[in-house]
Structure 1
Amino acid sequence: MSRKKVKELPQGAIETEALPELPADDEPQYPTVLQGVKNNMAKFDNCVLLTRVGNFYEMYFEQAEEFGPLLSLKVGYRQTKMGPVAMAGFPFFQLDRFLKTLVQDLQKYVAICDEFLISVSDKVKSGGLKHDRWVTRVVTPGTLIDEKFLDPYENNFLLSVHPESSSNSERPLPSHNDVQTDSTTDTEQIVGLAWLDLSTGDFFTQTVARSSLSSALTRIAPREIVLPADIVEDIKDEVQQIVGHDHRLLTLHQSEDDFTTMLEWNGMLEGPVDPNADEIFKLAEKQAGHQLLDYVKLRLQGLQLRLQPPRRKELHEILSIDRSSLRGLEILETARDGLGRGSLFHAVKRTVTKSGSRLLRDRLTSPSASLPEINERLDLVSMFFESEELTESVIFRLRRTYDVQRIVQKFALNKGDADDMLSLATAISETVSTRDLLQSSVSTDESPLRRLLLRFDLEGPVELQTSIFSAIDEEGLQQKHRLEEDEAASVAALAHDVVLQSAPEELDSLPKAVRSRSKSEEPNKDDIVLEEPWIMRRNASDILLRLHQDLDDLEGEKLALAERLRTELSAPTLTLKSTPGLGYICHIRSATGFNRAKLESLHARMVSSSKSTRSFYLSDWTRLGRRIDQAILNIRDEEKRIFASLRQGVILNLVKLRRNAAVMDELDVASAFATLAREQSWIRPTVNTGTEHKIIGGRHPMVKLGLEEQGRSFVSNNLVLDHEERIWLVTGPNMGGKSTFLRQNALLTILAQTGSYVPATHAEIGLVDQIFSRIGAADDLFRDQSTFMVEMLETAAILKHATPRSFVIMDEVGRGTTPEDGTAVGYASLHHLYHINKCRTLFATHFHALTDMTGDWKQLACYCTDVLESDDGSFAFVHRLKKGINRQSHALKVAKLAGLPPAALKVAEDILQHISSERSNLQRNATQNQENNQTSSIAAAG
């Protein structure tokens, strides 16, 4: 059988397929475990295979040689009849660490093959149990569930893209308020999107126009994108470019079955699909959803899903921000270095919960375009803003909650442990406390808080909370963790090459610290540690209480037996032990300090001896030890049953728990906005249905903070866009603050429609449907596009899609070419925005001729910034805008600030003076020629 080398695995779009059954192989085979690895590597041939062997996850064959060095793991070799086999591995408790490197950093699929104990018919073997292994899951960047390296402040979205079939694709381009922006009626292909976060159960769908696909991908920011295997090349290429640029994974996947109805999804959702869902959702998004769920089922190997029902993201309900604007406005990360610090999200984040931070990110990238929703959010912020004491009380309780969305999803996926259960119970308790606190603060039935509180549904969750606290023993759980940490330390300390020298089948002979059983195994009697703490309280159930009483009686018998043997054998150091390797032994810490004749009369069988100890088997202790072990197993089984009952309680309350958590997230965001507004002296904006902007004393939310950190003050500015002045044409020097002014007004619009207060002294904003930003440019060598090409692509998108309700900021359009061409492009863009798009616009330029060319446009006004010079040659930028035109760019002043050598500056000044003189002469000659022509014409007429 031919094998692919790891370095030959596909690196961009990875194609998935159904997993075939392997044919019978009569050729010589490797030892059992290694042959199983070989088979799985063939079956999952585009995955890195991690196989659980005892307390380690191992890689073998060429994958060990390829990835061992990349993971800083020692590569060893095991001799077999088939030749040496490369091996590399790590302790099981380091799985998250290495998964992060493989999945997130190296963008690889990882197949996890776990180890289980199963019953066999041959009772001679292992007491009726043996090890078996099979792949339980394939991990990809988009199918992470509860890995510790998941970013708690971001969603981990897996996105499916499915273009609508050609027979249904030609339809009017969807736009906000159905405003057509060009003289022709556009028709565009519709693309269906479906995306989910397996760690929270969130599931969304949407349809977008083909031209808006890249912006949607940027807004959703998926970790992995799934495309149909037969998708058209142009869409595949565009998505490939985006994921390559953003370091995401692209997968090609062909669903086994065609989509028929959304009712098929019921088994994977927390509740049944709306009976009318097939009529509500569009075909393309339903196809995308079908493809998405099919892919997830393949990756999770049959793991039961309980996702939230799919929710449609309606375009007309959100303020659309295109791809370049999300980046240019630095909403989530800075344009220069891609870091979160310095972004809008970083500047306004005051949320105290992880899920609240995720909601904040979502609102900042998809602000509302619904006036009732915006005002509802602002009302809630106002309530917290007016009561600092209430805000602090709510925040105190929010800090004590946990990430309920991700915790309940663990249980929905049959994961989660006792710690998660206790965290959930604590979160429910704090939710009840928050509800009670807020109820006492509600003044009227029409209060937005009243409507929010009505969404709480706590009856079932409170009963669950009581059951959890009354069942789980927190002290025993903490003791268990201490033992696990000690055991993990023992495993880590063990030289890994010891394991490499051992055949996997021989690992059962290693010390317990090396071969502790996996969570999914049934306990083996050799693994029993009598001191292991209990997770459940003794009285968690009547059965458990009786079992503990039985164990107490047996422990009493053990004490009595030990005391009797010490007396009969005259051996005060005698102890009764149960060890993984030797079983039930009697141990004496003396080679001679016991009655040898009496010991022989008891028919004891010697196990081992040394100069200072004796160990032997005794039938009385063996029988009693087995009864104790069985009692322990019975308790463990009952604890599992109780925990399973608690997990079922979580599943039964899944919908309520998720909805309550969503309310707490909204409270977190609202109280955070109120805290921010109080800190920064922000004011509540007025959002209305008009098409005007009136912002007095506006400040840039990020630049202001940056200047204050440097001990400098920020200069605020006013903006009034209305029926008299719909477009502002802004001129002024470099570093005069034009770009900052443009950005700040776009950001204030986003904050207002997010539901936040804004940094200004007064703000009235007409509802905006789309924000477009054309600011700054850089070569995109990845896509073979020059600076000017990037600029023109962004400009084209604005001119095609902006509507009268849009807000556009454009800076230096046309600067990447000659002054003549740049002026022409700038004028054409302004002309289109003014006469066709008819939208609110801030247009900054250094092409001063534009101010003359647009002088007769009634709804366009010119504003500028300036430089203040003193007699000694020093200067300062005046960042406050004033009405008028500034025809001086003051580029040499900026060059001087940048540190250009004096000699270079002198040359530049001479050239600038020469060019200015020539221009003056040309203008003077042109004027003289015009006057002469007029004189000649008069003379000829006379």
Structure 2
Amino acid sequence: MAKSKSVETPLMQQHNAIKARYPDAVLLFRVGDFYETFNDDAIIASKVLGIVLTKRANGSASQQDLAGFPHHSLDTYLHKLVKAGYRVAVCDQLEDPKMAKGIVKRGVTEMVTPGVAVNDKILENASNNFLAAVHFGKELTGVAFLDISTGEFFVAQGNLEYVDKLLQSFKPAEVIFARPQQKHFKEQFGSKFYTYTLEEWIFTTNYAEETLLKQFETHSLKGFGVDGLQDAIIAAGACLHYLRDTEHPHLQHITNIQRIEQDDFLWMDRFTIRNLELLGSSVENGHTLLKTLDTTVTPMGARLLKRWMVLPLRDIKQINERLDVTEHFIKETDLSRDVLQHLKQTGDLERLVSKIPLRKINPREVMMLAKALQQVEGIKQLLAKTGHPYLTAIGEKLNPCPGILCRILEQIVETPPILVSKGGVIQNGIHTELDNLRTIAHSGKEYLLRIQQTESDATGIPSLKVAFNNVFGYYLEVTNAHKSKVPENWIRKQTLANAERYITPELKEYEEKIVGAEEKILALEIQLFDELLLALQPHIQAIQQNAQLMARLDCLLSFANNAIQYKYRRPNVTEGYHLDIREGRHPVIERGLPPGESYVANDIVLDKEEQQIIILTGPNMSGKSALLRQTALITLMAHMGSFVPASAAEIGLTDKIFTRVGASDNLSGGESTFMVEMNETASIINNITPRSLVILDEIGRGTSTYDGISIAWSIVEYLHDMTPHKPKTLFATHYHELNELENKHGRIKNYHITNKESGNKVIFLRKLAPGGSRHSFGIHVARMAGMPPQLLQRANEVLSHLEQKHIDAPLEKHVKEMAGPTQKVQLSIFDAHSDTFKEIRDMLNDVDINRLTPVEALLKLNEIKNLL
């Protein structure tokens, strides 16, 4: 006998048809007051959202998984799904179920992905939510960044390293590229991004240009300065295509596209951004430079400050403009206070205005937008009086849009509800019909009392009552003692034990008026609100410009606040190559010091003539790395246009900052600590320029001691003699043998971080002084870390024995011999002149330091001792 074939219900037929169009998204399917998920989507929803997974029948012979949640909880659950990395298709009912004939029409009204989100619960106030597109061209790679929540749109093109740097800086929530390029993308940029692939035909010049011209309603892209950037244009077109493909057709707030030109900004590769901890810390919840400097009071100011940090300026005029305004705000404290007060009441104007074309703005947010425009007017008036050219220019560009501002304030009640469907949004006196309907609907109590009194007088029934129920609406209630007085035209509807209930033609007519009035009131309010949103559309670009200008003011006020509060000083940024920092401090470490403890400031001087390279030695934990980083951070802050943590600073214009600080294994890429270190160092050597600042910390420590010293020595000599660029360099090392380089090369100087020994303890003074150091105090640091006393005692015994035997004498002898004329060939510091030394060298070369345990290390030292 044939098996009976299961038959899908009409609802599941509709669901499956919609799901087939969005196979790679979790489909939230609206059914009544719930969003339901089915089958695989239900399993995902249950796991991510923590909701119950159930089963239900589907037709005659099958069951399916089911998980759902109330429709009013959409924002909360949507946020969780997207943050978990899922694409979500929101499927709503497109008609009133009461009016539907058959199954209710449904359709996807919004597709939300990590890079395409406008929901406030998904977005972070202080960070952009960029969608990025990457196009691999024949010679160059194009990249675009678009934030649908703010309307910001950036494009750039260049080599793979440049695009990688931009991806690290902008940190997009999602990256899209052509499907055939999936393997290539992963090879070049790794798997740290959430990615999505599109059809290859989308990444074509003609389609991209047509898409962009249609969006901006122009005949060419020349006015945006991106004409000719074919690879970047293709990436930008893919972004817009993706937005429309994810059910976002209303993009009127995307009105501009900006070019990121590599030569306009100080270059920092992704290693430097990580090493300097600009945006993220290696320690969980650790402090970053961004957290330290960010005292902005608006979300758009916080987002702009982040961009200023990863894209510092290289134009002295622009740098000085920011410094001038910061200095003006420091001097004019009343102006700073007043502008700041206005900014604090602005809210996120940039994201508010972007909600208008997306149809996501609610009545309360429209009123917030109006209040923000009032603050724009206040700031405009303040800046007009400053007499400062930069601030005056900003004030002239601010546009409070008085016409639409007045209309909002006239039409919307002062404290409107969030949902327009709740009613009570539009003020009285705006629309005559609306006022009349409200009179009917809201003066019902008085009208009913009047009917009650009239009928009571006419019939002589003193206890007559008017009431309402859901069965037959308004009615008159008469006690049994007076039912003989009831007029014939009253219609009896209900008999109770002690009374009778009646309706009259007048009551029914009034009831129809009330019910009809409430529906008409809501329809009229929605209509008037929609008309207001339509009237706001032409002002979007002006309001966006207001938001950008106010963000700029917010950042500059943040700079001024930091300078006042933490005694930062104005840097002198010059066209020269000199770096001279007096009493410099690390801005992040300084803020984290315990109360009462002050940061030990240090001077740093680097130039191309006398002191190009500083070899920095000193004990572990003495502050070498902090000194290196603070030099880079002070240079970076100066190029942002910020005052710096120093008593004075002369900073020659810098085009690139490179750092090689710390290392970790790249296990997924099969690379050891040393390989990662060499890759990063090679990137520096191959990209330096005369205006570069190079920060190197502990180069060569990932391999054997002799190999490490050889490499470190050669790198320093290369930067000094073998490249014409002569980059300013700070080189921290534990290899004290490198101190010999000062005797050999004129522009290399030795410095050390001072310390003081007291008994068997060492005190770190953290002060920079000329000359090299010969001690690392590793055992002291091990004691501070809590190593067992027996282990420390044994380590001291081994150290004492080695020092007595002068095991390093052959090495010192060779190093001193190297202090002759510079050789043009690769230097070999450790040519063996004795069989014993050769045997020791071979033994050390065979040691894998990354796998060596402390016990094995002691055994190896003992073996060497026996050889000697």
TM-score after normalising by structure 2? 0.87
1:225 aligns with one of 175, 193, 196: 175
1:893 aligns with one of 780, 804, 808: 780
**Which residue in 2 is equivalent to 1:135?**
108
Displacement of 1:880 in angstroms is 0.8
> 2: distance between equivalents of 1:436 and 1:345?
31
Q: Is the 8 A contact 1:29 1:35 kept in 2?
A: no
Q: Specify the SS of the correspondent of 1:749.
A: helix
Matched, 1:778 2:653: no
2:264 aligns with one of 317, 322, 328: 317
Displacement of 1:28 in angstroms is 6.1
Displacement of 1:597 in angstroms is 8.2
**Which residue in 2 is equivalent to 1:100?**
79
Q: Specify the SS of the correspondent of 1:327.
A: helix
Output the amino acid matched with 1:420: E
**Which residue in 1 is equivalent to 2:572?**
686
Residues 274-318 of structure 1, C-alpha deviations (whole Å, 9 max, x = no match): 455586341100110111111111012534443131100111111
Query: Structure 1 residues 826-835 or 774-783, which shifts more?
Result: 826-835
Matched, 1:307 2:254: yes
Q: Is the 8 A contact 2:95 2:105 kept in 1?
A: yes
Q: Is the 8 A contact 2:37 2:66 kept in 1?
A: yes
Aligned length: 806
> 2: distance between equivalents of 1:136 and 1:884?
70
Displacement of 1:552 in angstroms is 6.8
**Which residue in 1 is equivalent to 2:48?**
70
Output the amino acid matched with 1:824: S
Query: Structure 1 residues 152-161 or 569-578, which shifts more?
Result: 569-578
Matched, 1:47 2:39: no
**Which residue in 2 is equivalent to 1:499?**
none
1:147 aligns with one of 109, 120, 124: 120
**Which residue in 2 is equivalent to 1:829?**
715
Matched, 1:472 2:412: yes
Matched, 1:451 2:393: yes
> 2: distance between equivalents of 1:249 and 1:613?
73
Displacement of 1:376 in angstroms is 0.7
1:35 aligns with one of 13, 17, 23: 13
Displacement of 1:755 in angstroms is 1.1
Query: Structure 1 residues 60-69 or 288-297, which shifts more?
Result: 60-69
1:586 aligns with one of 469, 474, 477: 474
> 2: distance between equivalents of 1:654 and 1:272?
21
Matched, 1:819 2:705: yes
Query: Structure 1 residues 324-333 or 553-562, which shifts more?
Result: 553-562
* Mapping 1:49-198, distance limit 5 Å: 49-82=27-60, 83-104=62-83, 106-117=84-95, 126=99, 131-164=104-137, 166=138, 169=139, 190-198=140-148
Q: Is the 8 A contact 2:205 2:230 kept in 1?
A: no
Unaligned runs of 5+ in 1: 1-25, 120-124, 170-189, 485-518, 524-531, 931-942
* Mapping 1:244-643, distance limit 5 Å: 248-256=194-202, 258-260=204-206, 262=209, 264-269=211-216, 274-275=221-222, 280-300=227-247, 302-337=249-284, 339=285, 341-442=286-387, 447-458=389-400, 461-475=401-415, 477=416, 480=417, 533-542=423-432, 544-545=434-435, 547-548=437-438, 560-561=450-451, 563-564=453-454, 570=461, 574-575=465-466, 577=468, 582=471, 585-586=473-474, 595=483, 598=486, 601-606=489-494, 620-643=506-529
Q: Is the 8 A contact 2:56 2:64 kept in 1?
A: yes
Q: Specify the SS of the correspondent of 2:402.
A: helix
Q: Specify the SS of the correspondent of 2:694.
A: strand
Output the amino acid matched with 1:238: Q
Q: Specify the SS of the correspondent of 2:94.
A: strand
Displacement of 1:219 in angstroms is 0.4
Q: Is the 8 A contact 2:618 2:773 kept in 1?
A: yes
Q: Structure 2 vs 1, CA of residues 539 and 873 (structure 1 numbering), >3 Å: closer, same or farther?
A: same
> RMSD of aligned C-alpha atoms?
3.0
Q: Is the 8 A contact 1:142 1:157 kept in 2?
A: yes
Q: Is the 8 A contact 1:681 1:759 kept in 2?
A: yes
Displacement of 1:762 in angstroms is 0.3
TM-score after normalising by structure 1? 0.80
Matched, 1:697 2:583: yes
Q: Specify the SS of the correspondent of 1:280.
A: coil
Displacement of 1:759 in angstroms is 0.4
**Which residue in 2 is equivalent to 1:720?**
605
> 2: distance between equivalents of 1:28 and 1:290?
45
Displacement of 1:421 in angstroms is 0.7
Q: Is the 8 A contact 1:548 1:635 kept in 2?
A: yes
> 1: distance between equivalents of 2:475 and 2:667?
75
* Mapping 1:748-763, distance limit 5 Å: 748-763=634-649
Residues 103-144 of structure 1, C-alpha deviations (whole Å, 9 max, x = no match): 11x21111100123259xxxxx74989842111111100000
2:677 aligns with one of 783, 788, 791: 791
Percent of pairs with identical residues: 29
**Which residue in 2 is equivalent to 1:745?**
631
Displacement of 1:780 in angstroms is 2.6
> 2: distance between equivalents of 1:64 and 1:697?
61
Q: Is the 8 A contact 2:135 2:203 kept in 1?
A: no
> 1: distance between equivalents of 2:191 and 2:671?
12
Q: Structure 2 vs 1, CA of residues 767 and 591 (structure 1 numbering), >3 Å: closer, same or farther?
A: farther
Displacement of 1:539 in angstroms is 1.4
Matched, 1:851 2:830: no
Q: Is the 8 A contact 1:726 1:840 kept in 2?
A: yes
Q: Is the 8 A contact 2:320 2:641 kept in 1?
A: yes
Query: Structure 1 residues 366-375 or 640-649, which shifts more?
Result: 640-649
Q: Specify the SS of the correspondent of 2:181.
A: coil
